[in-house]
Amino acid sequence: MRNAFSRALIAAAKSDDRIVLLTGDHGYALFDEFRKACPEQYINAGVAEQNMVGVAAGLAKGGFKPFVYGLSAFIPIRVLEQIKLDICYEQLPVVFIGDGAGVVYSTLGSSHQSTEDMAVLRAIPHINIFSPCDRYEMEQCINLALRSLQPSYIRMGRADLPQIHSLLPNFQVGELCHIRDGTNKMCFIATGSMVSTAIMVSEKFSESFSESFSEKFDKVAVWSAPCIKPLAIKQVIAIAQSYEILVTLEEHSIYGGLGSAIAEIVAEYSPTRVYRIGIKDRFSKLCGSYQYLIQEHNLDIDSILNTIQHL
DSSP 114: B
Mean pLDDT of the chain: 94
176 CB burial (10 A radius; 0-12, 13-18, 19+): buried
Report the half-sphere exposure of 301 (CA within 13 A, side-chain side). 12
- Does the pLDDT of residue 109 top 60, yes or no? yes
- Does the pLDDT of residue 214 top 50, yes or no? no
Query: What percentage of the chain exceeds 70 in pLDDT?
Result: 96
Contact 139, 154 (CB under 8 A): no
Confidence (pTM): 0.95
Question: Packing angle between helix 135-147 and helix 2-15, nearest 10 degrees?
Answer: 40
Question: Packing angle between helix 194-213 and helix 301-309, nearest 10 degrees?
Answer: 50
What tens digit of pLDDT does each residue of 215-272 get? Answer: 555 789 999 999 999 999 999 999 999 999 999 999 999 999 999 999 999 999 988 9
Q: Could you give all domains of the chain from N- to C-terminal order, each with its CATH number?
A: 2-155 (3.40.50.970), 177-309 (3.40.50.920)
